[in-house]
Amino acid sequence: MNRPKKTEFKFPTHVDEYPTGPQYAAGYLPETNAGWRTVRPVVDYDACVFCLRCYLLCPDGTIMKENGKIEFDMDYCKGCGVCAHECPKDAIKMVKE
């Protein structure tokens, strides 16, 4: 699976080079977690039914589908808890770092 890669933003040198839409092209992440996350998601794989609701609702796109299981990219997870809140089986718990 090709995951987005962190790339440095290069400031345009001319007004014509400024983007007319988003600051970054699709597939690029501007920064890794700055270290301010206080909780992280942990999955109970026995309770998880692989409905992928967490995958669809993660605002940062840090959840990956791997062989019938979900995995988190902790480099980009902000610990917001949306995945745990939306899990219909309570298979995701937020654990203090």
CATH number for the domain harbouring residue 85: 3.30.70.20
CB neighbours of 59 closer than 8 A, spacing ≥ 6? 80, 82
Range of the domain at 90: 5-96
Enter the pTM of the model. Answer: 0.68
pLDDT digits (tens, 9 = 90+) for 43-88: 999 999 999 999 999 988 889 998 889 999 888 899 999 999 999 9
Considering its fold, how many domains does the chain have in total?
Answer: 1
Structure confidence at residue 93 (pLDDT)? 97
Helix or strand (DSSP H, E) at 31: none
CB pairs under 8 A, 24+ apart, for 50-55? 51/88, 51/89, 53/86, 53/87, 53/88, 54/82, 54/83, 54/84, 54/86, 54/87, 54/92
